[in-house]
Structures are given as C-alpha cells and as structure tokens.
Amino acid sequence: MKPSKSIMCALALSSAMLHEGAAADEGDALNFSVSQSIRYESNLFRLDDGERAPENKAHDTVSETGVGMKFDRRYGRQRFLADLNLVSARYAIHNDLDHDRPDAGLAWDWQLGDRWSGELGHAYRETLTPFDEAGGTERNMNAYTRSHVSADFWWHPRWAVGAGFAHARSRFDRDDADLAEFDADTVDLNLTYRPPTGNRAVLTLRDTDGEYVNRPAAPGSIRDYRQQEVRLGGEWRLSGATRVSGFIGRTRVEYRLAPERDFRGTVGRVGLVWDTTAKTSVDLSVRREIGAQQDLAANYAVTEAVRLAPKWNVTEKVSLGAGLEWRRRDYRGDPELVRTGGTREKPTDSSYRYGLHAEYRPQRALSFAFSVQRQERDGSRSLGGYSANTADLSMRFRF
C-alpha cells in the first residue's frame, strides 16, 4: 500500500516543525526511538483444526524493526505535537505477508486568551488486519485517516462549552474487503467540568453520518447510517490509590435502507486502576461498543469485553505483569451472514486471551520485554474456533 497524500503532508509539516524545535531546545522537544522485536506465532492465521495453512505451516516467526520520532513543545500558550513511526515486518516462512506500516500524527493544542482553547489534528496509520478479523490467509492492510478540530469556551474557571468536528476514512488493499471501507463525519457538542483537583468530566452529544462506500444502494443494505449518542466521560481520581477513566452512554444507530437492523442500547468503556501497594497495581477495564476501531470490525458488530491486568514492580528496573481478557462479539449487521435452513444466522463468538509479561529497564532510555500469550476462540456455526500461542521478545531505545 503506497503512502497517501495525507502522510506525505504530515511528514513535510513535521520536518519543518522539527527544524525549528530542535534549534530552540532539542533536548526537551525532540525524541527518537528504535525498537526490535522477534515474535513466534503457533497459529499465525488463526485457523481451526480442520483448516489447512499455506505450505502446511500454520506457525511463523515475525521480525519487526521500528524507528520513531516524537516532537512536543510549547510556544507560549500554544503546544505543537508530532509523531512519526515506521515499522518494517518480515516473516520467516510466509514472506508474502512482509510489509512496512507507517503511523503519523500532527496536533496543535491552541489557546486564545483565558477563554478559548481547542485542538486541531490529523492522523494517518496503516495496520495489518488481524487474521481472526479478516479471515483467509492473505495479507490485508488497512489505511485509516482521521482529521479533527475542536473549540471550547471557558465561561467559568471550571466550566466550558464546546464543539468539535471529525472526518474519518478507512480503506483496505484487499479487493474482497472493500465492503468494509467507510467514510464518517462526526459532530460533537460538549459540556466540560474541570475542578482544581485535576479531575475532568465531559457530557457529550454526538451525531455521526457514515457510509460504507462500496455497498449497494439497495433495500436491505447497510450502506449508510446515522449514529446519535449521549455519553458521560472523563478522568476521575476516586482516592489516592484509585482512578477511573472512560465513558458510558446510550447510542442509537439507524440504517436508511435496512431499518430492521437499527440498534439502540448502552455503550461504554470504563477503566479502573488501583494501586494496591507502592509496587503493585491492578488495571480492570470493561467495554461494550459498536464497531470498535481497535477491533477493525466495521461491519456493525457489538463487542463486549472485560480485561484484568495486575502488575508488580519488583525493583526499579524489573516489572512483572499478567493479562486476562474475555471478549464476545455479535455480528448483527454483517452483510455476509450465513443462511442456515432458509434463515439468516447471526454469528456470535467468544474469545479469551491470557498471558504473562516481564520488563527489564537497565537504563531510563533502554528497555527489554518478554511476553507469552494464549488465545482461544469458541466459534459459532459460521465462525470457526481456534487456539494460538504467542511468544514475543523486544527491545526499545529512546534518545
């Protein structure tokens, strides 16, 4: 997939910002990073026992080399940020999956006087769609672009009203994935409360007009939709050891050509971090969303998930952690629902992920990490189950 005009623009603008920032104060504003990881996959394509892998080899070893840059500097009341990252992935066996994936972002946190503030930003990233999402054994790269602008008016030191607009665009390089490509425009109206404690709460009214650009404009098609949502979100410290962040709300999704697939319900994503002792903590998160971006499932899937991640800082340089996640997905709007006995089946699957993680930081700028993980999915009649083991060894250096 060739870099789009948006990433070329981000690279050019960031280069100019870097030159000025480095001359002003390079040590504080500009940071670079290099990383290297080796990952072993026992079931790379997430196949069930009855499926045959290419070359009869379901396993593979993946080498990923990354370089990155981050610029973060304030000029008076204005803050400019830029992130540029490039990862080169190479496969030992299935080298047709080799790819390079860029990730670029620009943001301007602006402030005008004591009353007005906001953000202007643009982001572009490419990712390899996970095989449990894409299906099959062929490479499927996703290019996601998002531009946004927002403004808040602080009519009181603790209270603000504001509005925002965002345009998102998602494209795939595999022809058989074009039904999942979409464009979406989102408008937000916000009421923000920010007490002196540093906590923040935001009440948001959100209206999104979206279109799956390659789906037919015919009755029964979920080509275009409108999603309206009211949510309460923010970040709040409940005590010295406990903090919560995320949002909860109600959403309504209406499909102009397929009203029978409309959805109304509660959605949310809430995370709780509890510092149990000076060296141990527990991270608990719960979410229920529709077409969550990180799932790369643009096809109206209701995702419910719970994740638990304890961590122990053994010393200043060594930390150990664990992770356990349960996820269930209900593909209510999938255009490829399987017909069984003359009726349309709604595929539902449950999956589990659990593993261990260790990190060693001999220096502040240098870190080594090792992790092992197991994934299992219980499929429906149309979505096969699978199991997979992963082991990852990585190094990261920041300067």
**What are the tens digits of pLDDT across the range 218-237?**
888 888 999 999 999 999 99
Residues in the chain with pLDDT values less than 70: 1-28, 134, 291-300, 332-347, 379-383
State the amino acid at position 350 in one-letter form.
S
Measured at the CA of 211, the angle between CA 206 and CA 212, to 5 degrees, comes to: 135
Q: Give the per-residue pLDDT at 100.
A: 97
Instruction: Give start and end residues of each alpha helix (H) in the chain.
Output: 5-29, 131-134
In a domain, 71, yes or no: yes
Pick the closest to residue 227 from 296, 285, 302, 304 (CA basis): 302
In sequence order, the 6+-apart residues with CB closer than 8 A to the CB of 357 are 320, 321, 322, 323, 369, 370, 371
**Number of independent structural domains in the chain:** 1
Identify the bridge partners of residue 141 per DSSP, sorted by sequence position.
Answer: 128
For residues 245 and 199, give the distance between their C-alpha atoms in angstroms, rounded to a whole number.
10
In sequence order, the 6+-apart residues with CB closer than 8 A to the CB of 315 are none
Instruction: HSE, CB side, 13 Å, CA atoms: give it for residue 63.
Output: 6
In sequence order, the 6+-apart residues with CB closer than 8 A to the CB of 328 are 303, 304, 305, 348, 349, 350, 351
How many Cβ atoms sit within 10 Å of the Cβ of residue 264? 10
The mean predicted confidence, pLDDT, of the chain is 87
Q: Where are the beta strands (DSSP E) in 275-347?
A: 280-290, 302-313, 318-330, 339-340, 343-344
Range of the domain at 70: 1-42+53-180
For residues 81 and 285, give the distance between their C-alpha atoms in angstroms, rounded to a whole number.
28
Ramachandran bin of 198, using left for φ above 0, alpha for ψ from -120 to 50, beta for the remaining angles:
left
In a domain, 83, yes or no: yes
In a domain, 113, yes or no: yes
How many Cβ atoms sit within 10 Å of the Cβ of residue 140? 21
Ramachandran bin of 46, using left for φ above 0, alpha for ψ from -120 to 50, beta for the remaining angles:
left
**SS3 at position 149:** strand
In a domain, 196, yes or no: no
In a domain, 189, yes or no: no
In a domain, 62, yes or no: yes
DSSP letter at 175? G
Ramachandran bin of 294, using left for φ above 0, alpha for ψ from -120 to 50, beta for the remaining angles:
alpha
In a domain, 94, yes or no: yes
The token pair that represents 260 in the structure block? 């029978």
Q: Give the per-residue pLDDT at 131.
A: 86
**SS3 at position 300:** coil
In a domain, 66, yes or no: yes
The token pair that represents 91 in the structure block? 């496969």
Q: Give the per-residue pLDDT at 301.
A: 79
